[in-house]
Amino acid sequence: MNRKPFMKTPITHLLAFVACALSFQVAAQDFPSKPITMVMPYAPGGPGDTITRVFAGAMQKVLGQQIVVDNTAGASGSIGTAKVARAKPDGYTLLMIHVSHATNMVMYKNLPYHPVDDFEPIGRATSGPMLIAAPTSSRRKT
């Protein structure tokens, strides 16, 4: 019996082509296809909330999808941050962080997330100078 190898027949080529074409269509689903939640882990009305709302408005225009700002304040930002850490990692829940994202690891013994390992940075919103001040009467001069 003289058979052709499996993938050398015209019908198998056609079936393989159709399977690939269908898989590309499934993989090419539009993003975003539903509203995106942007968690601001601080109270409404502050500078972080204002910046978040400016970004949300700009993102809505670019993406053509609603961006919902969710202020989940408390525990120096760790309550809202934990909410995002538990969210499905599908790009529909974003977190606007602040310097406390780095310092909470030292401030709280049992954070329900790891500030570095549990998040993927996607961009910087702002930057600004930070300083530590002490009274002139302090013995600390530098």
| pLDDT on residue 13 | 46
| pLDDT on residue 22 | 53
| pLDDT on residue 36 | 97
| pLDDT on residue 141 | 80
The predicted-structure confidence for 88-138, as pLDDT tens digits, reads as follows 999 999 999 988 888 898 888 899 999 999 999 998 888 888 788 889 999
Average pLDDT over residues 63-71: 96
Average pLDDT over residues 69-80: 95
Rg of the chain's alpha carbons, rounded to an integer?
Answer: 25
Listed in sequence order, the residues at least 6 apart from 109 whose beta carbon sits closer than 8 Å to its beta carbon are none
DSSP 62: H
The predicted-structure confidence for 2-18, as pLDDT tens digits, reads as follows 554 444 555 544 445 55
Architecture of domain 36-107: 3-Layer(aba) Sandwich (3.40)
Average pLDDT over residues 52-79: 95
Mean of pLDDT over the chain: 84
Task: Categorize the per-residue pLDDT at 140 as very low, low, confident or very high, splitting at 50, 70 and 90.
Answer: confident
> What residue spans define the domains of the chain?
36-107
Give me the helices (H) in the chain, please: 10-27, 47-63, 78-86, 100-107
Q: How far apart are CA 112 and CA 84, in angstroms?
A: 11
Q: How far apart are CA 11 and CA 35, in angstroms?
A: 43
Residue 28 amino acid letter: A
How many CB atoms sit inside 10 A of residue 81's CB?
26
Q: Name residue 36's beta-bridge partners.
A: 67
Average pLDDT over residues 59-68: 95
Closest by Cα among 122, 79, 123, 86 to 101: 79
